[in-house]
A and B are shown apart, each in its own frame.
Chain A
Amino acid sequence: MRADHDVIASLVPVGSRVLDLGCGDGSLLEELIRRGADGLGVEISDDGVLACLQRGVPVLQDDIDKGLDDLEDDSFDIVIMSLTLQAVHHPALVLREMNRVGRKSIISFPNFAHWRLRTQLAASGRMPVSPLLPYTWYETPNIRLCSIKDFEALAHAEGFTVEERILLNEGGAREGAVTQRAANLLAAGAVYLLSR
């Protein structure tokens, strides 16, 4: 199981109705369903959707950048978006839609203000590459990079309340050694549990 998926799964109560935006091959949903959740994915790629089919994970092939018109208000307990925020064209729109269709949201993303990325850029003068952001600048799908501070400002502006924040290390697992105060500098990523 992907390390950040493990962190996310720990935030999902048993029996929740879960929507996973950008669910990829459906592995997180499959695990959540195994743990008793009722799950639906949204995925844009053909390969991802076929992999979901093979896992028996219900999935809608769709572009979340166009909104979630097929989904009703409050129709999910939890809406998850893991390591996908940085790849959407319209993060504010997507957050608004998550807030509309789900009572709570779980969002994970790589922190672009992590000290290692800062030093890479400062020292080499070139776009940083890391385990959570493994692509070169010219082929990366990650077009909306943000820091922890940036994200919290947007989440606040969109009317979310932070219920819980779990910091991630470069492997995507829970980062235990970093103090919450120094998160923007020392955490490679973060998982947020948000409510309205």
Chain B
Amino acid sequence: MGASGTPARSLGLVETQRVVLFTEDNPLVLDSGETLAPVEVAYETYGERTASDDNVVVICHALTGDANAAGHHGDPTHPGWWDTLIGPGKPVDTDRLFVVSSNLLGGCQGTTGPSSINPATGTPYGLQFPLFTVSDLVKVQRALLAHLGITHVLAAVGGSLGGMQVLQWALDYPDEVEHGIVVCATARLSAQNIAFSAVARAAIMNDPDFADGNYYATGKGPDHGLSVARMMAHITYLSEESMRQKFGRRIQDREEPRFDLGVDFQVESYLQHQGKVFLDRFDANSYLYLTRVMDYFDLFADAELVRSQLAKVKTKFLVLSFDTDWRFDTSHSRGIVRTLTAHRVPVTFREISSPHGHDSFLLEVPEYHKTVAAYLDRALEETN
């Protein structure tokens, strides 16, 4: 049962749309000073806009997400990545909210990124694609809203890298977002977090088929490296406990171990599968750039700047973490809460109990969903 009292349903069939937001005449100016054009963005919208546009919710996706957050593209058994949370009668209730979800800059699922054609060369950018920041991701999110004629957002919602965008948005544009829902995110990666990114990138860049990022023409990408990067990242998304429950030491497809160096344990088989299916939907260069965006993100680095930024912030926050998340554990969320609270920004914080580690934000964890539903309910009430 959703917050609005109607049973939770699926959005059903949804469609991705595309729009060119920046052109040669009006390029995207990145934090680095470099410019980028054209910039095309893939996005989806769900629900109906009110006349006064006071029900707009923006979804910011994490490292490997895409525009298809909810509903499906033809196969109901493969819904969008946040279909648990978004839909009619769900916590982000599309019966009452107008939801905008886009693929982020540098991605590879419809939005301009390293696999897009560089107009200067007529070939894919590869590593010629400029480095960008979380602020740049926000600029593109805003440009999409401007295209849709939206200037004010009831709530921006994101997990992990998505939460980082929500935070950055509030600091960069203090008047635009009324509520920020930041789930298992961080204001800065720890050494351990960066170390995981570094190993993932090394796996990709040391793959002989990487070809300095110009693998698009060869018909053979750094599949080995990218799948290893995904396998390793996937370990960090699960908890020790959830892996124990899910796989234990069970052997794949038989009772007795094979005693060889191939894939024998169920957990190996699972990770291998995850690595493999990832190749079909993700570009290795996008993985390099987006992990790098996260490494360099340090939202509260400059205390003086933060003081002046947070003094202006009108956004109220809901910050959530999960007790078994070790990718961005609760101390990361507490760090966000501490800084926001010290600067008098209204924050509500909960650490939710869930066995599923970092992945919890994508799953149906009842206390988590109840919290988001209650928060958005209240946010909607305040607009009326």
Cross-chain contact B348 with A72 (CB below 8 angstroms)? no
Q: B65 CB to closest chain A CB, in angstroms?
A: 26
Say which residue of A49, A54, A69, A71 sits within 8 Å of B378 (CB atoms).
A54
A52 touches B370 (CB 8 A): no
CB-defined contacts of B334 to chain A, threshold 8 Å: 69-70
Chain A residues, CB < 8 A from B375: 53
Instruction: Report yes or no: A58 in contact with B367, Cβ–Cβ below 8 A.
Output: no
User: With A and B bound together, what is the CA distance between A53 and B245 in angstroms?
Assistant: 33
Contact indicator A60/B337 (Cβ below 8 Å):
yes
Which B residues fall within an 8 A CB radius of A? Answer: 316, 318, 334, 337-338, 341-342, 344, 346-351, 367, 370-371, 374-375, 377-378, 381-382
Known: A46-B367, A50-B370, A60-B337. A75 touches B377 (CB 8 A): no
Q: A46-B367, A58-B316 are in contact. Are A53 and B338 (CB under 8 A)?
A: no
Q: Is the CB of A40 within 8 A of B350?
A: no
Residues of A within 8 A of B382 (CB): 56
Q: Does A61 count as interface, using CB distance less than 8 angstroms?
A: yes
B341 and A49 contacting across the interface, CB-CB below 8 Å: no
Judge whether A55 is part of the interface by a CB distance below 8 angstroms: yes
Q: How far is the CA of A38 from the CA of B347 in the complex (A)?
A: 12
Q: Does A59 contact B (CB under 8 A)?
A: yes
**Is A114 in the interface zone, CB < 8 Å from B?**
no
- Do the beta carbons of A72 and B377 come within 8 Å of each other? no
Q: Which residue of chain A has the shortest Cβ distance to B342 in the bound complex?
A: A72
- Cβ of B349 and Cβ of A60 under 8 Å apart? yes
Among candidates B349, B350, B377, residue contacting A54 with C-beta atoms closer than 8 Å: B377
Chain B residues with Cβ below 8 Å from A5 are none
Beta-carbon contact of B378 and A58 below 8 Å: no
Q: Are A71 and B341 in contact (CB under 8 A)?
A: yes
From residue A181, how far is it (CB to closest CB) to chain B in Å? Answer: 42
Measured in the bound complex, the distance between the Cα atoms of B353 and A49 in whole Å is 14
B341 touches A53 (CB 8 A): no
A–B Cβ pairs within 8 angstroms, 14 of them: A40-B347, A49-B348, A49-B371, A53-B371, A53-B375, A56-B381, A58-B316, A61-B350, A69-B334, A69-B338, A70-B349, A71-B338, A72-B341, A75-B341
Per the bound structure, the CA–CA distance linking A54 and B367 in Å amounts to 14
Contact between chains at B377 and A50 (CB < 8 Å): no
State the main secondary structure of chain B at its contact with A. helix
Tally of A interface residues using CB under 8 Å: 21
Interface residues as binary, A36-48 with B (CB distance below 8 Å gives 1, 0 otherwise): 0010100000100
**Residues of chain B with a CB closer than 8 A to A69's CB:** 334, 338
A70 near B374 with CB under 8 A, answer: no
Does A17 sit at the interface, judged by CB under 8 A?
A: yes
CB atoms of A58 and B370 under 8 A apart: no
A140 to chain B, nearest CB (A): 26
A72-B338 Cα distance, complex, nearest whole Å: 8
A residues near B377, Cβ cutoff 8 Å: 54
Contact of A70 among B316, B338, B370 (CB under 8 A): B338
B296 CB to closest chain A CB (Å) equals 26
**Contact check: which of B348, B370, B374, B378 meets A60 at CB < 8 Å?**
B348
Residues of A within 8 A of B381 (CB): 56
- Residues of B within 8 Å of A54, CB to CB, are 374, 377-378
Residue of B nearest to A75 (CB): B342
Q: In the complex, are the beta carbons of B349 and A61 less than 8 A apart?
A: yes
Residue of A nearest to B349 (CB): A60
Which residues from chain A contact B316 at a C-beta distance below 8 Å? 58
CB closest residue in chain B, given A60: B349
> Across the two chains, which residue of chain A brings its CB closest to B351?
A61
Known pairs A54-B374, A55-B378 / 10 extra A-B pairs, C-beta < 8 Å: A40-B346, A49-B350, A53-B318, A53-B375, A54-B378, A59-B349, A60-B341, A70-B334, A70-B337, A72-B341
Cα(A54)–Cα(B373), bound, Å? 10
B97 to chain A, nearest CB (A): 17
B344 CB, nearest partner CB in chain A, Å: 7
Instruction: Give the distance to chain B from A169, nearest Cβ to Cβ, in Å.
Output: 35
Interface centre among B346, B351, B377 (most CB of A within 10 A): B346
